[in-house]
Amino acid sequence: MNTTQWETVLVLPVTEDRDHIQGPAGAPATLVEYGDYECPYCGMAYPIVKSIQRRLGSHLRFVFRNFPLTRIHPDAEHAAEAAESAAAQGAFWPMHDRLFERQFALDDDRLVEYAADLGLDADRLRGELDAGTHAARVRDDFMSGVKSGVKSRRSSGFRAPGCRSRCSF
């Protein structure tokens, strides 16, 4: 069996004021996912990550960054922007979970519906989607993934800073 190992380089360091983080800053392990809400592999990884989080508890800091593959997932960009809009309203993680749990329906009307279901200002979310308010943030996440060596979700979307190998699906 031939395996390749390489140094993981996270170009954009994890910071509390920028990133979406679950788990303590002092956790011995940090897992950074560059994810696409429309990607079936990310969808399959979602319950696995949840399970790992439950198992490791305070020993894991989990970070989610947007990595929409817009050429093959046409709704992924707006889904990521909707998550960022929810973050601006203090509800990133509930929206993140809803998007993965309803991955089969990510058109703009559904995104607005999910915002309303979560008690968010749905009109604000629609306006921010229309204006591209959070597009730059999504693009910054995507480019940090590219610069860190993420090529596609299936092969290399997870990063564990300090580790010498990447997780594959």
Domain locations along the chain: 20-159
10 Å Cβ neighbour count for 123? 11
By the 8 A CB rule, do 62 and 22 touch?
A: yes
Q: Cα dihedral sign for 147, 153, 155, 159?
A: positive
User: pTM of this prediction?
Assistant: 0.87
Tens-digit pLDDT profile for residues 29-75 = 999 999 999 999 999 999 999 999 999 999 999 999 999 999 999 99
pLDDT surpassing 60 at residue 159:
no
Fold classification of 20-159 is: Glutaredoxin (3.40.30)
pLDDT in tens, 95-118: 999 999 999 999 999 999 999 999
- 153 closest CA partner among 138, 161, 142: 142
| Residue-by-residue DSSP string for 44-95 | HHHHHHHHHHHHHGGGEEEEEEE---TTT-TTHHHHHHHHHHHHHTT-HHHH
Strand pairing report for 29-35 and 60-66: parallel
